[in-house]
Homo-oligomer: A and B are copies of this chain.
């Protein structure tokens, strides 16, 4: 069985697998597939591309790892809904291999979230406003249990990103959540007194109120203040 090595004029990597990945993504584009639509079976793809099932499988598997497609036993692969999948892994990888610092992540988050919060103030539905407010309330209610505060904190920021109604913002912010989880507690601990901790939680309530009031400027200011305090906490903790 002879493989066609010359289909892709500008192939990134040599190798049949890369070509197969290209072919599959191109298939999605050409066929105009959307989330949920089924792809050809592996056997089918094997015939189309004239390569072994091994190659096709590795290609499918790669796309699945990036969450561009969904795979599960017995059923054919389908086009996936937008998902952080790969993006969060790239960020995590960058941080764990020390190619990205926590400060750099916070700068990006600050930049983006000053925008998402303003958009949220302008575009949020009532349900979204209620959800955001609820997370702020839950943070206050559980202020004695850092882990729970953290999860609601993260959910709070993700909810704001969703309320911006721009999935790209949502995608990026959610991709950072993993890094946030690994540094959040450190920032919390530098807030020595309970008053400081409550003040930090109240910062979230301020943001929520500004969103509900539909005041983008105020919301952005509160968000900026919140990040400035977070970065200061990281600095105090000696995080590079």
- What residues make up the interface of A, taking CB atoms closer than 8 Å to B? 17, 21, 25, 28-29, 33-35, 54, 57-58, 61-68, 79-83, 85-87, 89-94, 96-100, 104-105, 107-108, 111-112, 115, 166-169, 171-172
Contacts and interface: CB of A to CB of B under 8 A. Distances in A.
Nearest to A172: B172
Contacts of A68: 89-90, 93
Contacts of A108: 112, 166, 168-169, 172
19 contacts: A21-B65, A25-B92, A25-B96, A34-B97, A58-B61, A65-B65, A66-B90, A67-B90, A82-B93, A82-B94, A82-B97, A82-B100, A85-B90, A94-B171, A99-B167, A104-B167, A105-B168, A107-B115, A172-B172
Given A86-B89, A89-B66, A94 B167 contact: yes
A151 to B, nearest CB: 14
A89 B65 CA distance: 12
- The prevalent SS among residues of A at the interface is helix
Contact of A34 (B58, B62, B98, B166): B98
Nearest to A62: B65
Nearest to A109: B168
A90 B87 contact: yes
Contacts of A115: 107, 111
B99 A82 contact: yes
Most B CB atoms within 10 A — which of A80, A90, A99, A115? A90
Contact of A166 (B33, B67, B87, B104): B104
B89 A25 contact: yes
A74 to B, nearest CB: 13
A88 to B, nearest CB: 10
Contacts of A90: 66-68, 82-83, 85-87, 171
